[in-house]
Structure 1
Amino acid sequence: MFTHRTTPRLAYWILGSFLLTTVLAGCDLFGSDDEEPAADEVIVIGTQVDSDFLTTGEFGLSATPLDAGGSAILDENIDAEVDLRPAGGEGNTASELEQSIDLVASVSVDRVRRPSGNDLAVPVNLDGSGSMSGNDPDRSRVDATEAFFDELEASGVSFESAVFEFPGFNTDPDFDFTSLYQGFTSDTDLLREAADQARSSGGTPMWESLEELIAYSETERPNSNYEKAIVLLGDGIPNGGIVTRDEVCQAANDAESPIYGIGFGPASDVSDVAQSAAVEQMRRISECTQGTYIGVPDEDLEAAFAGAFAGMAQGTSQGSLAFNVQVESGLEQVREQGIQRLEGTLRVTSGGETVEGDFLFGVPEANTTGAFILR
Structure 2
Amino acid sequence: MMRGLDAADVVVPVTFEDIFTPATKTAMSTTTTTHEDDGVEGAQQQLDPEIQKALPLECNITNTQHLRSSPTATCYRIDVSTPDAEHHSYFLKLARGNTGWEALRGEHESTRLIYSLQRDLTPTPMTWGTLMSDRNTHFYLCTYHDFQPGLAPDPETFSRQLAELHVKSASLGERRFGFHVPTYNGDIRQRNSWERRWETFFAKGLQSAFDLHNERAGYVEELEAVEHDLFKIVVPRLLRPLESDGRRIMPGLIHGDLWHENTAVERGSGRTMIFDAASFWGHNEYELGYWLPEHNKFGVDYFEAYHELVPRSEPVEDYDDRIRLYALRFNLHAAALFPGDLKYRDMVIEEAQLLVEKYTP
Same fold (TM over 0.5): no
The structure where strand makes up a greater share of residues is 1
- Report the structure number with the largest CA radius of gyration: 1
TM-score, normalised to structure 1's length?
A: 0.25
